[in-house]
């Protein structure tokens, strides 16, 4: 029983570490010296809070889903920008259409205007 509990605890610690690393990658990534994803979202949604969350999609493949929820008011439904991070690469992929639009904006001003 103790061995099983230890294994569960260790797996949770590994997942927490992966999720922390994936979030850091998304928050810090810049393509070609351009804006970061948080800067793009802040530009698109000025004065609106952004709530970041993570969820392990596959521990074996080191794949973590990262989401940024933006809501104009607490009562309004949030817009969710999704990203999938592969820590083994490392690589960031869009997790939904809003995530794809935000990642296109990493390429620069011309891409940002095409929102």
For the segment 62-107, what is each residue's pLDDT rounded down to a tens digit?
A: 889 999 999 877 667 788 999 999 998 889 999 999 999 999 998 8
User: In this structure, are residues 36 and 101 in contact, taking their beta carbons and an 8 Å threshold?
Assistant: no
**Cα–Cα separations (whole angstroms), residue 35 to 16, 60, 78, 113:** 27, 31, 23, 14
Residues spanned by the domain of 50: 2-113
Q: What is the mean pLDDT of the chain?
A: 84
Q: What is the pLDDT of residue 89?
A: 86
- Can you tell me the distance from the alpha carbon of 115 to that of 102, in angstroms, rounded to the nearest whole number? 8
Name the domain count of the chain.
1
| pTM confidence score | 0.77
Interstrand relation of 50-58 and 63-70 (parallel, antiparallel or unpaired): antiparallel
100 CB-contact burial (10 Å; exposed 0-12 / middle 13-18 / buried 19+): middle
Residue 94: Cβ-neighbour burial (10 angstroms; 0-12, 13-18, 19+): middle
Q: How many residues does the chain have?
A: 115
């Amino acid at each position: 029983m103790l061995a099983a509990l230890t294994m569960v605890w260790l797996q949770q610690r590994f997942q927490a570490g992966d999720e922390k690393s994936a979030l850091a990658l998304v928050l810090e990534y810049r393509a070609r010296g351009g804006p970061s994803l948080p800067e793009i979202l802040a530009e698109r949604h000025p004065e609106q809070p952004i709530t970041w969350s993570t969820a392990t999609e596959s521990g074996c493949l080191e794949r973590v889903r990262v989401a940024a929820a933006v809501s104009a008011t607490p009562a309004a439904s949030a817009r969710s920008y999704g990203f999938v991070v592969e820590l083994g690469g490392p690589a960031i992929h869009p997790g939904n259409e809003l995530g794809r639009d935000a990642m296109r904006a990493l390429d620069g001003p011309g891409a940002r205007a095409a929102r």
